Amino acid sequence: MKKYSIAIVGGASSYTPGIVRSIMNAYDKMPIKEIILQDIDEEKLDIMGEYLEILFRDENFPADVKWTTSRKKAFKGVDFIFTQIRTGGLEMREQDEKVSINCGLIGQETCGPGGFAFAMRSIKPIIEITKDAVEYAKDAWIINYSNPLPILAEAVRREVPESKSLFICDMPIVQQMTMAATLGYKEDDLVFEYFGLNHFGWFTSIKNKEGEELLPKLRDLLLSGYKLKLVDFGHLDKSWIETFENIAKGVKMFPEYIPLTYLQYYYFPDSIAEKEKEHINYTRANEVMDGRRKKVFEECYKVIEAGTIKGFDHKLDAHGDFIVDQAVAIATDTPKRFMVNVVNNKAFTNMDEDIVIETFGTIDAKGACVNTYRKIPSFYRALMINQNTYEKLTVEAALEGSYDKALKALSLNKTIPSVSKAKEVLDALIVANKEYFPELK
Ligand code: G6P
Ligand code: MN
């Protein structure tokens, strides 16, 4: 049986131990010979590398772990490249959130002005990474867990169309698990339908194995005030609990579909911004820095100090399984249904062919493919065109260094109420990001 090599870009991320655990658990289906971590943060990379070396040794896991800051070295001969980059780190996420909230807007990682700033920092790096992947590992599949997904996918679609790139998000899967638990099912026992863009979509159908449509039941539960049964996906802090609770608020407005969690920012930006103002000194970035990041690195330090993994039991979320499931479908050429982010072509029949959409498709050795066709109802189509135009203009702003396009992008974003607010937050983000943004003229 072939043994695979996997490179992880952003290998020093606190998500790495979870992803590596998932790779280890999938060994029977996809045996691996090495994992190569690549990152620009040498110090954290050393810690993660040493930690994994001890893990592999103590669990007799028959693969090597290597680490390097060089993409060329990391990519040579690998079968898969997973990316999970965060240009500027959580420290810049904190800036994005706080600068936005300070302007009276929502402060969020991937939506609104925060998502725009995250994108402006990441567009050029993701293009460079993808170009290197094509150069040094031309047969490798690149599976991106990097955000903001739809904007990076658009950048890669334009600039490196020859790359074998997939883009994955765990949010729809987590929401499916949540909805299934609420209905008294396991996620696997239900078939969901969904259309939209990443972090911007709607579930349109939920059927059980008998073909019974359960969406009306879920809708009635939510409308009657019944709380969703939340599943622990490793970041169920207070802000995320509120986010899931707001699904019901969205259903009350437009009951035909179940909105993805992230739509709260586009439906209710004013009330969310108002609430976020109350904790401008402690945003989600602070929660993550004091929570996930601290916890993971503390464990790494302790294991390295003890020289053994024995006695440590790091509880991991399912995040890693989702990316590994896709790699397994490719490696074993076993077609499987996944939520995918792909170029529309003709799947959404009344929308442009060259936009990146999110919907269900199939993944196998040839990559992701959508073989269904649907006409998007006019209200949702208009929302998606607006959002997608914002995404495309953001890519153009970064690649062309265009202030005009950056301003137009933010002016379209539904979380920002006016062109003057768009300008105010753009100028503030440029100042906060002077080391990271492309120069905007
Ligand atoms: C979900 C989304 C990811 C996002 C993450 C943020 O999993 O799908 O795209 O990065 O939430 O979670 P955090 O715990 O960092 O706020
Ligand atoms: Mn996501």
Q: Which helix (H) or strand (E) holds 175?
A: helix 171-183
Q: Are 397 and 409 in contact (CB under 8 A)?
A: yes
Chain centroid to Cα 392, Å, comes to 18
pLDDT at 236 (0 to 100): 86
Cα separation, 220 vs 222, in Å, equals: 5
Residue 388 inside a domain? The answer is no
Q: What are phi and psi of 201, to 5 degrees?
A: -155, 180
- Asked whether 4 and 33 are in contact (CB, 8 A), the reply is yes
pTM tops 0.75, yes or no: yes
Residue 148 in 3-state DSSP?
Answer: coil
**pLDDT (tens digit, 9 = 90+) per residue, 245-289?**
999 999 999 999 999 999 999 999 999 999 999 999 999 999 999
Residue 375 maps to a domain: no
Structural element, H or E, at residue 42:
helix 42-58
289 domain-assigned: no
- pLDDT at residue 365, as a whole number: 98
Ligand 1 residue neighbourhood (C-beta within 6 Å): 109-110, 147, 169-171, 235, 284, 288
| Number of folded domains that form the chain | 1
Ligand 1 centroid distance, CA of 110 (Å)? 9
Give the active site residues: 170, 262
Residue 14 covered by a domain = yes
Asked if residue 378 is part of any domain, the answer here is no
User: From CA 329, how far away is CA 337, in angstroms rounded?
Assistant: 10
Testing ligand 1's pocket by substitution, the residue of 14, 83, 118, 170 carrying the most ligand atoms inside 8 A of its CB is 170
What distance in Å separates the CA atoms of residue 212 and residue 190, rounded to the nearest whole number?
10
| HSE, side-chain direction, 13 A CA sphere, residue 178 | 26
Joined together, the tokens standing for residue 405 give: 């396009």
Q: Which domain holds residue 121?
A: 4-169
Q: What token pair was written down for 78?
A: 């690998």
Tell whether omega for the bond before 17 is within 30 degrees of 0, i.e. cis: no
Whole-number pLDDT of residue 84? 98
Q: What are phi and psi of 371, to 5 degrees?
A: -115, 20
Tell me which of 96, 106, 169 to substitute to probe ligand 1's pocket, judged by most ligand atoms within 8 Å of the beta carbon.
169
**What is the three-class DSSP state of 275?**
helix
What's CA 87's distance to the chain center, in Å?
14
Q: Which residue's C-alpha comes closest to atom 1 of ligand 1?
A: 171
Indicate the Cα dihedral angle 140, 144, 145, 151, nearest 10°.
Answer: 180
What 3-state DSSP class applies to 124? helix
| Domain presence at residue 335 | no
d(Cα 353, Cα 356) in Å, to the nearest integer? Answer: 9
CATH number, position 123: 3.40.50.720
Structure confidence at residue 313 (pLDDT): 74
pLDDT at res. 312 = 85
Task: Decide: helix, strand or coil at residue 90.
Answer: helix
Instruction: Give the number of the atom of ligand 1 that is nearest the alpha carbon of residue 284.
Output: 16
Residues with a beta carbon under 5 angstroms from ion ligand 2: 169, 171
Regions of the chain with pLDDT less than 70 = none
In this structure, is residue 356 part of a structural domain?
Answer: no
Q: E strands within 170-270?
A: 190-197, 200-208, 258-259
Say if 117 falls within a structural domain: yes
How many angstroms separate the alpha carbon of residue 308 from the centre of ligand 2?
34
Residue of 282, 281, 301 lying closest to 291 (CA atoms): 282
The terminus-to-terminus CA distance of the chain in angstroms comes to 54
The answer to whether the Cα torsion of 165, 49, 234, 90 is positive or negative is: negative
Best CA proximity match to 116, nearest among 437, 410, 383:
410
Quick one: pLDDT at residue 318?
A: 79
